[in-house]
Structure 1
Amino acid sequence: MLSREDREFFVTNGFLGPFRVYEPAEVKEMWRQVRLQVHDKSRACYPTTDINYDRHMDISILSRHISHPALVERLQGLIGPDVFCWRSEFFPKYPGDAGTEWHQVETYAYGSGIPSLVPTVRREKTPTELTIWTAFTDVPRESGPLKFMPGSHRKWLFDEKRKLERFDGLSSNGGFFGYHFDELKLDPNLELDESQAAVMEMEAGQAVIFTARCMHGSLPNTSRRAMRLGIATRYVPTDVKIFPDQTRFSEHGNEFDLRDWGAVLVAGRDDYEYNRVRTHNAREEPFITQPRVENVVTARICAGGDQWAAG
């Protein structure tokens, strides 16, 4: 499990890593297999969309990846013993692609203004969502690694509920799949000190865990040939409502029908039953649920308050 020092680092900074999940040769072979399967969307949740959300539902390697012990033990140490995976997505960055703008979210309401996540409990110094970004290729500085602004999860500098107009194109001009996150700044004149950023250069098979409340973005890919690829898997405690009262959602210019979606219990148990749960992927393979580990987070419940307010 996480050491006390690891948890204190996360509480202070909003991210933790990189840490090793797979050996380089292993993840290279995984990516070779995923690359062969990703174009077949016949069993995907959203077969008609441009964005590869939730391919852990139909690609076996990713079905197993989302509950890898190296991921789950860190998740449980930060948000508690009972954990859902609610989304996965690919993040490629090709040679010449610009860096992604700084952004900060929690309920994933950007674009539509409708939250995808609704927390029902707030715990001091404990996030209500976590992302694990796993490198499937090497990520040296020149290929566009992630960057974080340490400690920025303690204060809102962006309004994620503000609706955004979508522009044509993807990431060539610093936007994020059709959105400019600069438009969400509470202070449009906000300038961030880039020298304070933590840049996540990573080896293939390493990962970083962070709360999306921590401001993050990426550097440009200035290499001539190297594509950078990461798989982001997103998690919440089981007391969070996911897509409440929604049968579909709109994002990045796509319409997503939730008919085949379901949360995956990667650790512990679901005592709340707020959410639809998938126990098997589209190939009828069972998802893996890691054992419940008691007392991995001992945090005071914040009645109606912000979980980071106490610092």
Structure 2
Amino acid sequence: MPEPHAAVPAAMPAADLPPLEDLLAEAHVVALPMVTKFRGITVREAFLTRGPRGWTEFSPFVEYGDREASAWLAAALDFGWGDDPEPVRDSVRVNATVPSVAAGDVASVLARFPGCRTAKVKVAEPGQQLADDIARVAAVREVLGPEGRIRVDANGLWNVDEAEHAIHALAACDLEYVEQPCATVDELADVRRRVKYMGIPIAADESVRKAADPLAVARAGAADVLIVKAQPLGGIRSALEIISLAGLPIVVSSAIDTSVGLAMGAMLAASVPRLDFDCGLGTAALLAADVTREPLTPVDGAIPVRRVEADETLLAEHAADADRRAWWMARVERCYRVLAESAA
């Protein structure tokens, strides 16, 4: 089985990698509490440092191996040391993100995303039933009203038959699209064929950011929309190249980044010529703390496109303990070696 996509992106070849000591010179590791559990976590850890271009972030989830995580480090280096693309907009409309909460908690979650006209709702949570998903999505529809847009994300946890059944069950809530209903490209293509008559698009996330070939899903005709995340794809310019080659509508999203990482995503979204969908970059609202006094939380349904200045007091207040800092520092060193060796 091929390893997840982790090639050194063209925007940051190995010869241009900054010295490791520069990367570590202003390193901070933070542990930020979350408002509610998301992806099974209640605390989000991230490595932050400052390059010539400003603050940058490396925050692959802890279960990811070094080769997969190295693409995230390439993105951090590109954002901190590389040149910024030319933006075509100065703000980006974003969606609300609803974790796998009880239906009764939906309104309080959505209240953290003022002005957002779109909500992405997590479904297929292990230990829950389809009935829980139906109730949650129906609660979102009730809060947003008939003009709101609802997309659901299964993170690849359904099989094809389960996905078809769930999409039928949720269709009454008027879905904008279904994100990663199944794990593989072949399964996505099968689901897309089965529900095409319903007019509900299929979006691919993991089949882009965790794939050996992030363009395979587009070539296979297995998705109508691509979810694009700057960190997993090696940075802004690497992601822009993938977007250009794929030729499909895209949604720029985040991975529960701090506001520093969200600034990277916002700059990517600002550089895409056409955005047909609201982007998944409002997730700072799911954090109970951040690293800046001016977090990139949604205002009137959008976030600004700007770099974020980390606050030294907040970095110290939310610093990870010594063991976790050592773990992240060692991880950065290993991933740096992967980047250097990949292009050698």
Greater RCO (CA < 8 Å, at least 6 residues apart): 1
Comparing both structures, which one devotes a greater share of its residues to helix?
A: 2
TM-score by length of 2: 0.29
TM-score by length of 1: 0.31
Please identify the structure whose Cα radius of gyration is greater: 2
